[in-house]
């Protein structure tokens, strides 16, 4: 069985590698290390922007694509039914949930404002807010959403979970119009699908109470950027964004200069912190061993989730 991975580091991090596996490194650029026609298990480079149908056409023997990203939106449409697509659920959980809570705290306590003042050598204390007692609406009740809930509870906040469908302890997306008016903070941690693209529009934002915060740790196109800009420009809402639409955010975009907006350049996931390759390839190794043994794979992507 031929397996392609994008990093040499993965060889050791994936061990033990099943017998009969021919492991080659292909980082997505330049010449193929060998014929792609008999590649059966492929780990593409992290955050590949889109599937090349021409490249997949060269891989008729492909059975599994194992991503190193938590999101699979760039891959859904291009992968045929004969290929099992798996995401990296679990790999980015700690880093992304830490970013979300850090963004809430930084915005609430005014750290972004103080950082700007520091560059101007301006000592200007102002009253700020706290996470304690806040009602945090977490839209996306998967692995990362659950980790965010645990972390905000540790600060004395009250998480409320939302998913596509209701289940014990989790509200349905259809309930958002009733939930949003009571939310102090709304965290987005949903995959980008046709159902979530543009979900946070002018109507969604208008339902949030004055002074509430939108935290986007999902994908930029989940939010209508123009609608968000209007709400935060007027000072009614604040926002903490790790992702934007478009991305990168253009240098002349007004969001950059608004004091109630905190922006980081898509660094919320594990790829921006130490240990990403070890965690990612530990997952790849587990998946490869399951596949070689004829067992079902974890993290199989269905309907974009």
Ranges of each domain in the chain:
2-91+272-292, 93-265
Kindly report the pTM of this predicted structure.
0.94
For the question of residue 253 being annotated catalytic, the response is no
Q: pLDDT band at residue 164, thresholds of 50, 70 and 90?
A: very high
**What number of other Cβ atoms are within 10 A of residue 227's Cβ?**
17
Q: Tell me, what DSSP letter sits at residue 230?
A: H
Residue that wins the pLDDT comparison between 241 and 302: 241
Are 214 and 237 a contacting pair, CB within 8 Å? yes
What are the DSSP calls for 57-92, one per residue?
Answer: HT-TT--EEE-SSS--TTTTTTS-TTSEEE--TTTS
The residue from 151, 171, 238, 266 that is catalytic is: 266
Per-residue confidence (pLDDT) for residue 57, from 0 to 100: 87
Does residue 201 register a pLDDT over 90? yes
Does residue 303 register a pLDDT over 80? no
User: Distance between alpha carbon 290 and the CA centroid of its chain, in Å?
Assistant: 25
16-64 tens-digit pLDDT = 999 999 999 999 888 999 999 999 999 999 876 555 555 788 999 999 9
Tell me the average pLDDT across 140-152. 97
Per-residue confidence (pLDDT) for residue 30, from 0 to 100: 86
For the question of residue 236 being annotated catalytic, the response is no
Does residue 91 register a pLDDT over 80? yes
182-192 tens-digit pLDDT = 999 999 999 99
Q: How far is CA 151 from CA 37, 92, 93, 105, 283, in A?
A: 46, 15, 12, 12, 24
Tell me the average pLDDT across 120-135. 97
Q: Which fold has domain 2-91+272-292?
A: Rossmann fold (3.40.50)
Per-residue confidence (pLDDT) for residue 140, from 0 to 100: 97
The residue from 247, 253, 289, 290 that is catalytic is: 247
Per-residue confidence (pLDDT) for residue 304, from 0 to 100: 59
Residue whose C-alpha is closest to residue 47's, from 71, 83, 76, 77: 71
Calpha distance 50→102 (Å, rounded): 30
- Shared fold status for 2-91+272-292 and 93-265: yes
Per-residue confidence (pLDDT) for residue 47, from 0 to 100: 72
For the question of residue 247 being annotated catalytic, the response is yes
Does residue 305 register a pLDDT over 70? no
Q: Which fold has domain 93-265?
A: Rossmann fold (3.40.50)
Per-residue confidence (pLDDT) for residue 48, from 0 to 100: 66
The residue from 92, 151, 219, 238 that is catalytic is: 219
252-270 tens-digit pLDDT = 999 999 999 999 999 999 9
């Amino acid at each position: 069985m031929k397996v392609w991975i994008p990093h040499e580091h993965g060889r050791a991090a994936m061990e033990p590698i099943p017998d009969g596996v021919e492991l080659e490194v292909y980082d997505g650029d330049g010449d193929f290390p060998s014929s792609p026609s008999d590649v059966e298990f492929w780990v593409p480079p992290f955050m590949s922007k889109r599937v090349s149908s021409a490249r997949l056409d060269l891989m008729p023997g492909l059975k599994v694509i194992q991503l190193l990203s938590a999101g699979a939106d760039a891959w859904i449409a291009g992968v045929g039914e004969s290929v099992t697509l798996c995401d990296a659920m679990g790999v980015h959980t700690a880093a992304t949930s830490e970013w979300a809570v850090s963004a809430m705290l930084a915005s609430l306590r005014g750290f972004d404002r103080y950082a700007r003042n520091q560059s101007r050598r301006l000592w200007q204390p102002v009253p700020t807010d706290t996470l304690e007692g806040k009602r945090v609406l977490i839209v996306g009740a998967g692995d990362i959403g659950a980790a965010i809930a645990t972390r905000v509870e540790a600060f004395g906040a009250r998480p409320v979970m939302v998913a596509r469908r209701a289940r014990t302890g989790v509200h349905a997306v259809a309930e958002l119009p009733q939930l949003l008016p009571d939310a102090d903070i709304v965290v987005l941690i949903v995959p980008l699908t046709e159902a979530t693209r543009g979900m946070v529009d002018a109507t969604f934002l208008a339902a949030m109470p004055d002074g509430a915060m939108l935290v986007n740790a999902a994908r930029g196109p989940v939010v209508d950027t123009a609608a968000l800009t209007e709400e935060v420009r007027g000072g009614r809402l604040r926002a903490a964004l790790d992702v934007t639409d478009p991305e990168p955010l253009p240098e002349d975009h007004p969001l950059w200069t608004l004091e109630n907006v905190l922006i980081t350049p898509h660094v919320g996931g594990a790829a921006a912190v130490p240990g990403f390759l070890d965690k990612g390839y530990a997952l790849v190794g587990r998946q490869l061993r399951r596949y070689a043994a004829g067992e079902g794979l974890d993290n199989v992507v269905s309907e974009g989730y």
